[in-house]
């Protein structure tokens, strides 16, 4: 199932919550694919001087979950129950793009992947997740 309305709403929405805090925004949204971008700077770095892995994981996880949501019917959303990420290269600053895509959707379990790319289009991290379908508003306590 495609949920073009949800994909369009995600793209049109102003960043709020964690996205506003981190400075992330959705730049592409279509059936089974969502791209989040973040302009990484000093506020995203840990004491070693590189972008903290949790920041990279956050945008990857969100891109994966949102890509799944573009194929879910209204009234359903998803929550991550397992996530794996491999960090390929460190980043100190610049645009990061998390490209989330659907791998497989079952009735209750869904699988997705995301590549996080730097401003030179180099792979920074690759993630995969398993998500559980939940009624909208639940599973996020």
Q: What is the CATH number of the domain that holds 13?
A: 3.10.129.10
In a domain, 78, yes or no: yes
pTM over 0.85: yes
The arithmetic mean of pLDDT across residues 10-38, rounded, is 95
In a domain, 141, yes or no: no
In a domain, 51, yes or no: yes
Enclosing domain of residue 24: 4-135
In a domain, 44, yes or no: yes
In a domain, 117, yes or no: yes
In a domain, 70, yes or no: yes
In a domain, 66, yes or no: yes
**Token output for 8:** 């369009």
Q: How far is CA 109 from CA 13, 25, 45, 81, 136, in A?
A: 27, 26, 34, 9, 15
pLDDT digits (tens, 9 = 90+) for 28-85: 999 999 999 999 999 999 999 999 999 999 999 999 999 999 999 999 999 999 999 9
Give how many domains the chain has, as a whole number: 1
Residue of 34, 46, 6 lying closest to 97 (CA atoms): 34
List 86's β-bridge partners, or say none. Answer: 126
Q: How confident is the model at residue 137 (pLDDT cuts 50, 70, 90)?
A: confident
Residue of 66, 67, 44, 63 lying closest to 55 (CA atoms): 44
In a domain, 96, yes or no: yes
Q: What is the pLDDT of residue 138?
A: 66
Q: How confident is the model at residue 139 (pLDDT cuts 50, 70, 90)?
A: low
């Amino acid at each position: 199932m495609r949920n073009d309305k949800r994909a369009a709403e995600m793209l049109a929405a102003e960043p709020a919550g964690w996205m506003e805090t981190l400075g992330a925004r959705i730049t592409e949204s279509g059936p089974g694919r969502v791209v989040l971008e973040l302009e990484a700077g000093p506020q995203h770095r840990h004491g070693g001087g590189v972008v903290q892995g949790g920041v990279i994981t956050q945008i990857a996880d969100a891109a994966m979950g949102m890509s799944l949501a573009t194929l879910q019917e209204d009234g359903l959303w998803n929550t991550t129950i397992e996530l794996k990420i491999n960090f390929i290269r460190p980043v100190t600053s610049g645009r990061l793009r998390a490209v989330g895509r659907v791998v497989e959707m079952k009735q209750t379990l869904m699988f997705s992947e995301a590549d996080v790319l730097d401003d030179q289009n180099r792979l920074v991290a690759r993630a995969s997740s398993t998500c559980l379908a939940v009624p909208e508003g639940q599973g996020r306590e």
